[in-house]
Chains A and B, each alone.
Chain A
Amino acid sequence: MEFDELCDKCEEWMQPYLDRELDDAERAEAENHLDGCGYCRKRYRFEESLRIFVRQVCSEEMPPALKQKLAALRTPL
């Protein structure tokens, strides 16, 4: 059983960690725990790859025609 009380804190920090919103001390503590805890490491890796995947598949290119329409909205010189 790898789970311990530090895993609770690690869980709480996971989202802000992946969002790069932890301060340096919190980040260091989280990384220190991740180094030694396979369970949390696995959870973090899953969340991180899910995050990357969501970003990739939800990123739709702007249609070129729209770009031209936006440029046409500029104030005439």
Chain B
Amino acid sequence: MSEVTPTEPQRLATDARDRVRFEEEALELSDQVYRVARRLVGSREEAEDLMQETYARAFRSWRSYTPGTNLRAWLLRILTNLNIDRGRRKQRSPEMQPLEEGDYFLYNRLEESSREPRSDQDAVVDRLSQDDVVAALSEVPHDFRDVIVLVDIGDFTYQDAAQILDIPIGTVMSRLHRGRRILKTALADQAVGG
């Protein structure tokens, strides 16, 4: 009935234009996606492989992306799924050592190890090195690390992280809480000795 049904060449032209726009937008986000990817896996090589697989898949299945929604989260969802599928994740039991001091652990350890009491909080954090942080983060089991990386490095909301990892938002919050405690415990070990 419709008299505005596009002709086949018109349809193809529109399709090509939408695809090009999608690919350009996805590529513009690649730096941000890489920053997350790099910390989800153990090495730069793995991160590069994962990025290429992710973009190859994204370019193939661009039609399943809904324009106007969060493209960065959509790309990260592909990436985290591929990361799991490839069996890179050596799952460790989430049962960890007891964390009696909880959130205070790192703070207390850094303060204790300092000769003079410090009031400047930045100075306390300055006692950590980049290597300390990278090593400590790699010690956090994957399930917990994934949410820390998405929220703290990727700057995703809890809701986005829940959608990317396909887990309930309450699970995001509990994994974040526990993951950050594990990270801080590992940091304390790195920074002031175990």
Asked if residues A46 and B34 are in contact (CB atoms below 8 Å), the reply is: no
The answer on a CB contact under 8 Å between A70 and B38 is no
In the complex, what residue of chain B is closest to A38 when comparing beta carbons? B119
**Interchain CA distance A43-B101 in the complex, whole Å:** 14
Cα A63 to Cα B47 with chains together (Å): 11
Q: Can you list 29 A-B contacts (CB < 8 A)? A: A11-B103, A14-B103, A19-B158, A21-B158, A42-B121, A43-B107, A48-B121, A49-B125, A50-B125, A51-B152, A55-B153, A55-B155, A57-B133, A57-B134, A58-B35, A59-B35, A60-B39, A62-B31, A62-B34, A66-B30, A66-B48, A66-B51, A66-B52, A67-B30, A69-B48, A70-B27, A73-B59, A74-B59, A75-B59
Q: B interface vs A, CB < 8 Å?
A: 16, 19-20, 23, 27, 30-31, 34-35, 38-39, 44, 48, 51-52, 55-56, 59, 103, 106-107, 119, 121-122, 124-125, 128, 130, 133-134, 137, 149, 151-153, 155, 157-158, 173, 176-177, 180, 183-184
